[in-house]
Amino acid sequence: MSSIDFKGRVAIVTGAGGGLGRQHALALAARGAKVVVNDLGGARDGSGGSVSAAQAVVDEIKAAGGEAIANGASVTDFEAVQAMVAQAVEAWGRVDILVNNAGILRDKSFAKMDLADFRLVVDVHLMGAVNCTKAVWALMNEQKYGRIVMTTSSSGLYGNFGQSNYGAAKMALVGLMQTLSIEGAKNDIRVNCLAPTAATRMTEDLMPEAVLEALKPEAVVPAMLVLAAQDAPNRTILCAGAGSFEAAHVTLTQGSWIGLGGDAPEQLAQRLAEVSDRAGEIVPQSGAAQGSNEVGKAMANAGKR
């Protein structure tokens, strides 16, 4: 079994002043990466800000013999994010790894949620990741190397009461990953998603103490390291928590060809269980592949209705 190391690699980890991001930064540094520790230093609802949290992690890394620099940019500020990337390039000449980890919570049922809280969560999670990825994209294409980890969530993949804003943003990151993994492949930019179940300050009020102990952030880190490694997969959604790891997929059933007859809605309603049957389901390699699958069925059934 070959060891995963990051010697000579430069990584940016957002939201790395505490919790899961801190563990990501420490683990990358321990395995040889030079790390930009980014953290706005705000509360978990996004208010406030101080670079002291990021600097504390930098001090930890340096005390252990590693190399790191602190950055307090808000991921919602594209110019500040560009300056962060420039800071990394000035210090170390390149950026190989981006871990989009920064996030906030503004939980409420949809009926009670202000649209401002919905927009802010989407802005931090989705547009924050977009900003950071856009800021490194040209550089990674020029280098012909890059590893980008998007932090999705089971709340996006499967839903969670009171987290419509968070879930929408987290599932959007899966869609972003699906396309960027295709666009980046020719230049060895591999883009993946990590869906962590971890006890951080964002979950500390939501779970019993025994469960929180089992869900230490450290237990998620191996999945991040695999997704950020030189031999990383591409276009993978890894779920991780409490020492367990799973892969999630957006699948497509075999479905049924019903045609364009006037009774197509009634036919579909009657055969919905058949259409939804998961036996033989597939994972299309692109949106175009799904379309080709449907056109292929139509051509095979031409003239039947």
- Number of compact structural domains in the chain: 2
What pLDDT, in 10s, does the model give residues 223-241? 999 999 999 999 999 999 9
- Kind of pairing between the strands at 68-71 and 10-13: unpaired
Question: CB within 8 A of 263, min separation 6: which ones?
Answer: none
Residue 200 located in a structural domain: yes
> Rounded to the nearest 5 degrees, what angle is found at the Cα of 198, between the Cα atoms of 195 and 201?
120
Same domain, 83 and 230: yes
Task: Give the global pTM.
Answer: 0.93
Instruction: Indicate which residue of 166, 176, 215, 237 is catalytic.
Output: 166
If asked whether residues 129 and 208 sit together in one domain, one would say yes
Question: Quick one: 58 and 181 in the same domain?
Answer: yes
Q: Which residue spans within 39-143 are E strands per DSSP?
A: 68-71, 97-100
**Are 295 and 235 within one domain?**
no
What are 10's strand-pairing partners?
A: 34
Do 208 and 163 belong together in one domain?
yes
Tokens of 85: 């990337």
Q: Is the dihedral of CA 150, 220, 247, 145 positive or negative?
A: positive
Residue 44 is predicted with a pLDDT of: 57
Q: Answer yes or no: is 3 within a domain.
A: no
CB contact at 8 A, 275 and 268: yes
pLDDT given for residue 50 in this prediction: 61
Beta bridge partners of 147: 97, 190
Do 256 and 236 lie in one domain? The reply is: no
> Do 147 and 278 belong to one domain?
no
- What was the pLDDT predicted at 178? 98
CB distance 156 to 171 below 8 Å: yes
Residues 15 and 87 in one domain: yes
pLDDT of residue 108: 97
**168 in the same domain as 33:** yes
In this predicted structure, what is the pLDDT of residue 164? Answer: 98
Are 196 and 276 part of one and the same domain?
A: no
Mean pLDDT by groups of 10 residues along the chain of 305 residues: 94 96 98 97 58 94 98 97 98 98 96 98 98 98 98 96 97 98 98 89 68 86 98 98 96 96 97 98 95 91 77
* Per-residue pLDDT at 20: 95
Residues 24 and 164 in one domain: yes
Out of 248, 263, 278, pick the residue that ends a domain.
248
pLDDT recorded at residue 47: 57
Question: What's the distance, Cα to Cα, between the start and end of the chain in Å?
Answer: 57
Query: Kind and range of the H or E element at 239?
Result: strand 237-241
CATH number for the domain harbouring residue 136: 3.40.50.720
Which structural domain, as residue segments, surrounds residue 301? 251-305
The 10s digit of each residue's pLDDT in 94-115 is: 999 999 999 999 999 999 999 9
Clarify whether 145 is annotated catalytic: no
Q: Which helix (H) or strand (E) holds 192?
A: strand 189-196
Q: Tell me, what's the pLDDT at 61?
A: 98
